[in-house]
Amino acid sequence: MVIFLIIFFLVVISFFFSASETAMIGLSRIRLRHMLQQGIKGAHSVARLVTKLDKVIAAILIGNNLVNIAISAILTGIFVQVYGYRWGVVVATFVTTLSLLIFCEVTPKILAAKHAEKFSLLTAPLMEV
């Protein structure tokens, strides 16, 4: 049971990284300036991150890759125990690839692209830590 909570937690972190990447890149600089002028909470965090976007994106990509590797390793271990080495690796590769694409890459990026402002405001304070 604990292992599934760990996997869920890692998927949430990967979702966060993928959404953050897209939100930061997709956020309109004009809209960001407007958010700063309006005093919207979190806008200053977003502005600080945008000024060093290359470093932020590099950190996001490294973090996301590490999390996705951990997910893959854990799931491969589970599937090898269930199906044996040969089929476990095959099933793990298929299931992990499909799951990571849907839940950790495509879905968060689509949502963040549609709501870049909201996602950037939500994720920026966490990324500044």
54 within domain boundaries:
yes
Alpha-carbon dihedral angle through residues 45, 46, 50, 54, given to the nearest 10 degrees: 80
64 within domain boundaries:
yes
Counted domains in the chain? 1
What would the pLDDT profile of 40-72 be if each residue is shown by its tens digit?
999 999 999 999 999 999 999 999 999 999 999
68 within domain boundaries:
yes
Residue 111 burial (C-beta neighbours within 10 Å; 0-12, 13-18, 19+): middle
Low-confidence ranges of the chain (pLDDT < 70): none
pLDDT of residue 124: 95
37 within domain boundaries:
yes
Q: How far apart are CA 65 and CA 55, in angstroms?
A: 15
Which tokens sit at 69? 């590797």
108 within domain boundaries:
yes
2 within domain boundaries:
no
3 within domain boundaries:
no
pTM score of the predicted model: 0.93
pLDDT of residue 129: 74
Domain of 74 in residue numbering reads as 8-127
Which tokens sit at 7? 């996997």
35 within domain boundaries:
yes
pLDDT of residue 50: 95
Q: Which of 94, 78, 101 is closest to 1 using CA atoms?
A: 78
Q: How far apart are CA 104 and CA 98, in angstroms?
A: 10
